[in-house]
Amino acid sequence: METLQYNTKRTQLIIPEYGRHIHKMISLAKAETDREERNKKAKAIIGVMGNLNPHLRDVPDFQHKLWDQFFIMAEFDIDVESPFERPQKELLEMKPEKLAYPQNHPKYRFYGSNIKRMIDVAIQWDEGELKDVLVFTIANHMKKNFLSWNKDTVEDVVILAHLEELSEGKLKVAASQLPLSESSDLLKFKNKNGNGPSSNQSKPRKRNRKRY
């Protein structure tokens, strides 16, 4: 009787989804010295791999994927004819570049990082009516965000001062665009979108009383 083998003592599987038998078949194909026989075995292994997903085995892109996985499990060390370009080990092992992540800590966090991006874009715009409308829209959005943080009210002068500070004095709301939207209107708009108390909850229920 053969001694039981634990997976921890066996060689690690490169693509575990295919199981150990597929990896052993590829190892046997690598050990084959006759190139023609090795090509036959490689195609047979690809067929077995495709049988694991029969609904996809005839799709060209899926066939390409199977051959790529075949070479990966063979550790790129097998000489067989492939209908597709062989994958490059260096390219697959290349580490992706780190994603740019904002590390800044804004002074007014309740405005959100998108407001700062909008301000930076508006600074680059040429002077004109479109820029005035954009700056007014940004200021209005800042006021709405401020009200989400402070649910009471806020004066326009506070928002305008914050806008000037965040833009380093490069953006100002045109006098023709002032005043900003009323706080009550912005709060109503927020409630309609489900971000505040619903109208049914804000109004007390009236009980039907009998009249004599």
Q: What is the mean pLDDT of residues 178-199?
A: 66
Instruction: Give the model's pLDDT for residue 97.
Output: 85
- What pLDDT shows up at residue 69? 92
Rg (CA), the chain: 33
The vertex-148 CA angle with 143 and 149, nearest 5°, equals 95
Closest CA to 173 of 112, 119, 124: 119
- Looking at the chain, how many residues does it have? 212
**What pLDDT shows up at residue 204?**
47
The more confident residue out of 18 and 198 is 18
pLDDT in tens, 42-91: 999 999 998 887 777 667 788 889 999 999 999 999 999 999 888 888 88
Model confidence at 167: pLDDT above 50:
yes
What digits encode the pLDDT tens for the residues 102-136? 656 667 888 888 888 899 999 999 999 999 999 99
pLDDT band at 24 (very low <50, low <70, confident <90, very high): very high
Rounded to 5 degrees, φ, ψ at 90 are -65, -35
Report pLDDT for 10: 80
Q: What is the mean pLDDT of the chain?
A: 82
Span 26-34, average pLDDT: 93
pLDDT at 26 over 90: yes
Mean pLDDT of 175-193: 75
Q: Give me the residue label for tokens 């053969």.
A: 2
